[in-house]
Amino acid sequence: MQALDNYLSSVARTDQIYQFSRSKSYQISPERYRHFKQQAHDVRRTTMGARSIGAKLLELDVPRSGLAVEIGCGTGRLSGSLVLNGHFESYLITDSSGELVKEAKRRIEELESGSEVRFGVMREQDVAGFPDASVGSFFMAAVLHHILDWKQALRTMKKKLQPGGIIFFTEPCLEFGLTLAPLLMTFKKTLEDRGVQLEQRVLKSLRAFAGALKQRGDPFNLEQKKFEDKHFFRLSDMYHFAQVEGMEAHLFPNSSFHALLSQGEHPRGRIKFEKVVRQKLGTAAQLPPAFVDQFMEAMQEPLGFLAHLAELGRGPVAHFSCILQRPRR
Ligand SMILES: C[S@@+](CC[C@H](N)C(=O)[O-])C[C@H]1O[C@@H](n2cnc3c(N)ncnc32)[C@H](O)[C@@H]1O
């Protein structure tokens, strides 16, 4: 791919990292940032997923030639499986934060994958600079909701894809927040009716959680520009987008990238509902562990009901993974 090689050789590099744009720090609370750092320790375990992602890429006959580009790699949680899978001829692992790219680079290089792997500081807008039809595939884990004009970003990626190439991403879903919010409100009301004084920080987190659902669930809210996390999606958003753009959509409800890739205790691709509720209340809603324990105990029955439906593949969708494939002609 001469055009791609020429383009990449025109991009400045510092310490072997391509500088497509200026670094922008990841504006997230230190607590949640630590969560991503911890997840990065699992990079070696992602070798398990390397086989299953390979199977998916083969099934869809995704072209092997060309570059696999990861956008928003963070500390490299997904990058390990991509690189170890070795489906593509070469890899470009990027993030808008230079600090996170360095962290991911250190971890991925420890894996000694044998694949050709490059790293870059890059925002999603920089995809526009790549030659058309030059990229093998794009990958994003929990990144699309950070992008204000996500449709435009996906359209640009489509244009840069080789025929048959894919955009593979995983995202949190609005529906799950809409399920949890009424349960949290009911629980709060029950405690108040019993005369229990809720801590200020619990009330603040509950208000912030409800506020975030309103902001990120509203596709027309320009205020979203101010926030690091900008959207919660619905599965129908992706079906609709694919239809308009003439792409083939493969959707995997309740399959985070990791669940989809791992061959662990759950049937492939299924999340463990209660575990995800706990995790979301701790990280997304930022509620203190003692409050989360109380909530889980008090709401055992409705949560059990929802968990049962989720196991059947009928419950509320917490995350989804999506593959959009560019037609071969
Ligand atoms: C929720 S984290 C996910 C990190 C990683 N993919 C993972 O799953 O652990 C979002 C990442 O996207 C990056 N990011 C945010 N806005 C971006 C943009 N416009 N272009 C590229 N990366 C972006 C952040 O720096 C952060 O590393």
- List pLDDT tens digits, range 71-109: 999 988 888 878 887 889 899 999 999 999 999 999 899
Please state the atom number of ligand 1 nearest to the C-alpha of residue 73.
Answer: 6
Output the pLDDT for position 241: 97
CA 71 to centroid of ligand 1, rounded, Å? 7
Q: In whole numbers, what is the pLDDT of the chain averaged over residues?
A: 86
Mean pLDDT calculated for residue range 114-133: 96
Q: Could you tell me the sign of the dihedral formed by the alpha carbons of 210, 150, 170, 28, in that order?
A: negative
Distance of alpha carbon 151 from alpha carbon 10, whole angstroms: 28
- List pLDDT tens digits, range 128-141: 999 999 999 999 99
Indicate which residue's Cα is closest to atom 11 of ligand 1.
Answer: 72
CA 26 to centroid of ligand 1, rounded, Å? 7
Output the pLDDT for position 257: 57
Indicate which residue's Cα is closest to atom 20 of ligand 1.
Answer: 123
Q: Which residues pair with residue 173 across a beta bridge?
A: 233
pLDDT band at 270 (very low <50, low <70, confident <90, very high): low
CA 294 to centroid of ligand 1, rounded, Å? 32
Please state the atom number of ligand 1 nearest to the C-alpha of residue 140.
Answer: 6
Q: Supply the DSSP symbol for 324.
A: E
Residue pair 50/79 in contact (Cβ under 8 Å)? The answer is: no
Cβ-Cβ contacts under 8 Å for 264 (sequence gap 6 or more)? 48
Angle made by CA atoms 11, 125, 39, in degrees to the nearest 5:
90
CA 186 to centroid of ligand 1, rounded, Å? 34
Task: Look at residue 124 and tell me whether its pLDDT is greater than 90.
Answer: yes
CA 178 to centroid of ligand 1, rounded, Å? 24
Task: Look at residue 268 and tell me whether its pLDDT is greater than 80.
Answer: no
Residues in contact with ligand 1 by the CB-under-6-Å rule are 26, 36, 39, 71-74, 77-78, 95-97, 100, 123-124, 141-143, 146-147
Which of 35, 105, 146, 227 has most ligand 1 atoms within 8 Å of CB, for mutation?
A: 146
Output the pLDDT for position 283: 81
Indicate which residue's Cα is closest to atom 13 of ligand 1.
Answer: 72
Residue pair 104/32 in contact (Cβ under 8 Å)? The answer is: no
Which of 31, 96, 100, 171 has most ligand 1 atoms within 8 Å of CB, for mutation?
A: 96
Cβ-Cβ contacts under 8 Å for 89 (sequence gap 6 or more)? 64, 65, 66, 67, 116, 136
Task: Look at residue 259 and tell me whether its pLDDT is greater than 80.
Answer: no
Distance of alpha carbon 177 from alpha carbon 319, whole angstroms: 11
Domains and CATH numbers, the chain: 2-172+321-325 (3.40.50.150)
CA 140 to centroid of ligand 1, rounded, Å? 8
In the block, tokens 């990292």 appear at 17
Judged by average pLDDT, the poorest of 42-56, 139-153, 258-272 is 258-272
Q: Helices 174-193 and 289-298: crossing angle, nearest 10°? A: 90
Output the pLDDT for position 31: 67
pLDDT band at 18 (very low <50, low <70, confident <90, very high): very high
Please state the atom number of ligand 1 nearest to the C-alpha of residue 77.
Answer: 9
Indicate which residue's Cα is closest to atom 22 of ligand 1.
Answer: 72
Indicate which residue's Cα is closest to atom 15 of ligand 1.
Answer: 146
Please state the atom number of ligand 1 nearest to the C-alpha of residue 257.
Answer: 8
Indicate which residue's Cα is closest to atom 16 of ligand 1.
Answer: 146
Q: Which residues pair with residue 95 across a beta bridge?
A: 121
pLDDT band at 52 (very low <50, low <70, confident <90, very high): low
CA 32 to centroid of ligand 1, rounded, Å? 13
Record the tokens describing residue 199, joined without a space: 């801590």
Mean pLDDT calculated for residue range 141-147: 93
Output the pLDDT for position 221: 81
Please state the atom number of ligand 1 nearest to the C-alpha of residue 25.
Answer: 25
Indicate which residue's Cα is closest to atom 25 of ligand 1.
Answer: 26
Distance of alpha carbon 51 from alpha carbon 254, whole angstroms: 20
- Total Cβ atoms within 10 A of residue 214: 11
Task: Look at residue 301 and tell me whether its pLDDT is greater than 70.
Answer: yes
